[in-house]
Chains A and B, each alone.
Chain A
Amino acid sequence: MAEDLTMTNLDNEDTQKDKYLTFHLAGEDYGIEIRYVIEIIGIQNITEVPDMPSFIRGVINLRGKVIPVMDVRARFNLSDRDYDDRTCIIVVNVEGTEVGLVVDEVSEVADIPENHVEPPPKTSKDSEGSYIQGMGKINNDVKILLDVHKLLYSGEMQELSASLDEQ
């Protein structure tokens, strides 16, 4: 019984390996590892929370769970864009914390084998370079693969939680 379970878990890991959920954001294609993704929902009413960094748009009700929502555009300091019916919230779970990510449009689940992933450009002085896990190539397309953990916690959020810890 126990063995069966571990087997299925292994299978799951296997099927999730090298798979990325890709989405559009301001003309670029991005990808995040599929194992973090819980679900994709349409944009919905977001309740604002005071005293938050600008990219934390607020909280939403996900079937009784209250989860914070981050606007990835604002996170990358890209220009604001009105939400429309293609705007999606990707709900990710990083180490038990669920967060919604607002993106322009979700495209597909893509298979990008390890040998098609290049390390992130080291030269980039841009602050967003730190969120990049690698550059994935599918044929001639390039997908920017994001490190979800860093996306959530590096930069301002880190400072925020650090200041909370001090309190």
Chain B
Amino acid sequence: MSMQIDDDQIEIIQEFVTESRDMIEQLEPAIIELGQNSDPETINAIFRLFHSMKGSAGFLEFDHLTRVAHAAENLLDLIRNKEIELVPDHVNLLCASCDFAKEALDMIESDYNDDSMVSAADDISEKLHQAIERGKNPELQAAEEDAPKAPAPTSQALSVDNAEAAEDGFPQMEITEEMRLSFVQEGNELLQNAEQGLLLWGESPEDKDSLGEVFRHIHSFKGNCGFFGFSDLEKLSHQMENILDRAKSGSKLAVDNPADQLLASLDILQQGINNISEGKTDSINNLHDHIEDLNRLVAPLLGDFLVEEGVLEEAISTAVQTQKKPVGEILIQQGSASKEQIDTALKKQLDNLNKAKAEVKPAARTKTPAKRQDIRVELGKLDNLINLIGELVIAENMLIHNPDLKGLELENFNKAGQHMSKLVRELQEMAMTIRMIPVSGLFRRMIRLVHDISVKAGKKVDLQLIGEETEIDKTVIETITDPLVHLLRNSLDHGLETPAERVATGKNEKGTVRLSARHEEGEVWVTIEDDGRGLNRAKILEKAISKGLIEGDGSDLTEKQINNLIFAPGFSTAAQITDISGRGVGMDVVKRNLEKIKGKIDVNTTPGKGTRITLRIPLTLAIIDGMIVRVGTTTCIVPTLSILEAYRPEMDQITITPDGAELARVRENFFPIVRLHEILDKEPDSRNLSDGILIVLEYLDSRFCLFIDEILGQQQTVIKGLSDFIGTVPGVSGCTILGDGGVSLILDVGTLVESADSKKLDSEDVE
């Protein structure tokens, strides 16, 4: 690896790193799932992932990563073949392997080799081997007994040499790439022909020729599979062959036309072939179910029922040999069975047929879905595209509302303009959806977290994920990842009680944490809900008072305000700092990150019943609905989301406190007034409050009134950052370009409150 690495190789390596990261991300939740139910499908999925990682890493000569992946694969293989009982230790070990792989990938990304991971790799693979040894020894014999179909790779699994690591996943036999290719090719042809034959047969069941053809194709396919050792495919095709054989010889099948069922099985075979061509194993998910399905197609034989009815087996077989007449008649002739016996048997046969008919799923054709085509695009390019479209929206506005056109009768121009507006709108919506990705990735990452914490904290947790398909802007997902982690930690560490406590309070020993996402009121709501003990208000108040976060005894605070105290930096009611939580940092992170994306947090809690925390996030970051307001000659944008109402105040609604603060009465409440012209340092039309407009704004839970001259209108605005050169401006979150090409500042409601407060303090100082 010391040779010069050229650009091509770097590209390949980078691709490998991103791909492997994706794989690990998928892998982790599956591993945790494994701990809960060892469904063979899951094991196979994990096995495949490790296997492909091993393959790619081996190809790129990342020996240590290969070694670990190989060891993990060995363990999984043994579990898969039921030679080793799955124990929780294995789950942890596999998680550790994932962690190792992540670290190794980081290393590879920066240094293009994984040499520095030697000791870690040694450690992990050693542990994996130990696990294999331990799992194996007590059951070595049993393992040999029940593994007749796939000889366990016992002999070589333990010697994990690097050279061997790159070897293929089919230890039983040497299959060259060429052979595999020709198998895939031939298999494809056979299956295609079989499918055509089946379709023909399905249309005209009398057509025995096509049936015979199907039978031949399936038969050769089975032979090929057997030769290459693809045992799952072989089994399934064998079962199909049986059925076809029966159909060919004219026996009754459970359904009049089993072609549909057979086609479904063909699809499964096709999938198997696809997998093989991609270098994966031939394992078929739910193989057993599929074979069962096929079995139901086979009509039970009359003879079986006759035996049940007490008719001698010998007699039946003689009868069967005579064959020309229906079995029943022969038996009666022979006197070996009474008419009644036969009747009952026939009835039974009929019943059974009907039952089988009902059981066979009606044409369960799951055609291999068209492969979803994805391309990886650099995020920067996408952002540029979205910026360009944002500019297009502005340019379109400037064109359609061009002052030069004023007063002109332009029928055709207007038509064309409307058409363009529609297209631009659609383009914009489309562009926004490109950035949207489902939250499932984020949610699935939490499975691992919850697993780890529940083990550490000794709690039993059932994590439910709801609305995984909800799509959120990629940046938003990145921003809420940390908050979610902190919130979940809190739920698990503080919210949920220990199993003993839960049982004592009559709850299920296993706590439930529900993580859900959904669209609501033009926002995305991500909710974390637990059925734990709920927030302890008294404790929160006590702590807040002792920390000086609130004045007085807190009796004047609303429930909501008390709940929101938990978001204060450094706030924690935990008596003890555990390694999971208690430092009082987490909730502050939650609040800050949510502020960044203009989100809100709702806290609902019922003592003893649980807590629900809802993160309310605007659908997109790049575009907001804004109200255009004017102060003097300046226009600004106020995000519509924060506006509760706007009105022209009467002087008797205004109260001025002795220290000079102005308060506006809105129905039963008094809100402080912030004068926008003071913040922007502008000359307003009038300083008289009753000449202007007050907009009631809400930020988290504080409300205030913003005094402006006039509301000019409402507009969808594309948010642009102020230049880096200027940096952050208090009171301003960004800017946008208006229809006339001018720049307008977007007000930051959050910092407006603070700057209003500080201004108030300044004026008090002067006094």
Contact = CB atoms under 8 A, between A and B. Distances in A.
Interface string A27-68: 000000000000000000101111110001011110110111
A99 B745 contact: no
A50 B746 CA distance: 12
A114 B731 CA distance: 47
B634 A48 contact: yes
B203 interface: no
A64 B389 CA distance: 10
A161 B387 CA distance: 26
A61 B743 contact: yes
A49 B729 contact: yes
Given A64-B391, A66-B735, A97 B730 contact: no
A90 B422 CA distance: 37
B210 to A, nearest CB: 58
A66 B497 CA distance: 53
Contacts of A56: 726
B449 interface: no
Given A47-B744, A66-B737, A99 B729 contact: no
Given A64-B737, A66-B720, A66-B737, A47 B726 contact: no
A15 B44 CA distance: 64
B708 to A, nearest CB: 15
A149 B257 CA distance: 83
Interface residues of B, number: 30
A47 B725 CA distance: 15
Contact of B726 (A52, A64, A167): A52
A56 B742 CA distance: 17
A49 B732 contact: yes
A103 B394 CA distance: 29
A50 B679 contact: yes
Contacts of B728: 164, 167
B723 A67 contact: yes
B681 A50 contact: yes
A8 to B, nearest CB: 21
Interface residues of A, number: 26
B136 to A, nearest CB: 57
A152 interface: yes
A98 interface: yes
A109 interface: no
A47 B722 contact: no
B727 interface: yes
Given A48-B634, A50-B680, A50-B681, A66 B394 contact: no
B735 A64 contact: no
A160 interface: yes
A68 B394 CA distance: 19
A161 B745 contact: no
Nearest to B730: A51
Contacts of A60: 743
Interface of B: 387, 390-391, 394-395, 634, 679-682, 720-732, 735, 737, 741-745
14 contacts: A50-B679, A50-B681, A50-B729, A59-B726, A61-B742, A63-B391, A64-B394, A66-B720, A66-B737, A68-B725, A97-B723, A99-B725, A164-B727, A164-B728
**The 4 A-B residue pairs with the shortest CB-CB distance in the complex, in nearest-first order:** A64-B391, A47-B743, A164-B727, A68-B723
Given A59-B735, A66-B735, 8 more contacts: A47-B745, A48-B682, A49-B729, A59-B726, A97-B723, A97-B725, A161-B727, A164-B727
